Structure 1
Amino acid sequence: MELEFSETFQQELPSTYLKFLKKNPKGTEIKISGRYDKRIWNMMSEEDLLKRWTMNGVGEAANYECLKLYTHVQGENIEDLYAHSAHFGRVKLDRVARGFVIGHENGDYLYIDPECSFSLWAYYHDGGEITKISGSFDKFLKSKKSL
């Protein structure tokens, strides 16, 4: 997997994902039928990723970094708290908070986890649980179905 430093987001991201952003300037939908997750993800455009919003009583963030707000709600000391994954056990909340959100569906978020080889995960807002969706953005794109 090739990584590329993004001046826009000031971090390394998979080059395939950055190319995908450029090819889809208005965002797009991707239908997947994965092992643990079947749904249509609304993939955000660069403009959507950068939009800032406020979570009352918690703080402000851009869409791509919104998991830091959600994990804050789960616990004040996120270094010692965990998100649960039915298939992968416990994952520290501070790791989830650093995830790079790329899409959403029905209040849940699709994110890239830079601490797990830039794999793709889903964050379920209802209970704060997570699930690994794909080992990489490349594999995720290969698993998509035509709409």
Structure 2
Amino acid sequence: MLENLIVESLEELPLLFNKNYIAFIAEKTRSITVDDQEFTLYTAEELSAKITIDGLVVSNVYALKGYVKTIKEFLGPNTMDQKGNQFSMLMLAASKVIGHDNGNLLFLDAHDSKSIYIFHPDGGDLTKTKLKLNTIIKNA
């Protein structure tokens, strides 16, 4: 059975994220800077918006599932971060996208739902940031 990759209503989002995060993005349009790159955080409406990635229709929050479907054919079961640490394609697919910049996606690591990474679709690699979700909420 295929997992539902579409957010049907905004009421589903609190099930996917920390309640403080949903309130944080509801206040106003937000952005964060990582290594001089500014990422726009998705609003609740944008998180649930439908997009098509390699023929798979998903909500933005699930965009990594669409990319993993294709890149695992080339990279195998793992991808890597900037330090050469392996990151499982299964965990990447389970991670939630929270923002974007120039095609790169900002996401929460499915391991802890707090660590923030950047996914680079052009190479399938990752950049682990020093940011944590609770830190960006607290420092806003």
Q: Please, which of 44, 60, 75 is the counterpart of residue 57 of structure 2?
A: 60
CA distance change for structure 1 residues 16 and 9 in 2, over 3 Å: closer, same or farther?
A: closer
Q: Deviation string for 1:47-98 (max 9, x for gaps)?
A: 1110112224x311000100000111112599x6111112261010110111
Quote the residue 2:7 is aligned against.
none
Percent sequence identity is: 23
| AA partner of residue 57 (structure 2) | E
Q: Which runs of no fewer than 5 residues in structure 1 stay unpaired?
A: 1-5
| Greater fraction strand | 1
Runs of at least 4 residues off by over 3 Å: 140-144
Does the 8 Å CA contact 1:14/1:118 hold for their aligned counterparts? no
Q: Which amino acid in structure 2 is aligned with residue 134 of structure 1? A: K
Q: Give, in whole Å, the separation in 1 of the partners of 2:74 and 2:111.
A: 19
Contact 1:28 1:42 survives alignment (8 Å): yes
TM-score relative to the length of structure 2: 0.79
1:95 to 91, 96, 100: 91
Is structure 2 residue 63 aligned with structure 1 residue 74?
no
Residue in structure 2 matched with residue 3 of structure 1 by the alignment: none
RMSD over aligned Cα, in angstroms? 2.6
Q: Note the alpha carbon deviations across 1:99-136, whole angstroms, 9 max, x for none.
A: 11110000000011131352111101110111221352
Secondary structure in 2 aligned to 1:75? helix
- TM-score between both structures, scaled by the size of structure 1: 0.75
CA shift at 1:29, angstroms? 2.6
Number of equivalences = 131
AA in 2 matched with 1:97: A
What is the CA–CA distance in structure 2 between the aligned matches of 1:84 and 1:8, rounded to whole Å?
31
Inter-partner Cα distance in structure 2 for 1:143 and 1:38: 18
Provide closer, same or farther for how the CA distance between residues 20 and 143 of structure 1 changes in structure 2, counting only shifts above 3 A: closer
Amino acid at match of 2:41: M
Give the match for residue 19 of structure 1.
Answer: 23
- Which structure is higher in helix share? 2
- Give the aligned partner of residue 38 of structure 1: 36
Question: Following TM superposition, by how much is the alpha carbon of 1:142 offset from its aligned partner in structure 2, in angstroms?
Answer: 6.0
2:106–2:118 CA contact under 8 A, matched in 1: yes
User: Please, which runs of 5 or more residues in structure 2 have no aligned partner?
Assistant: 1-9
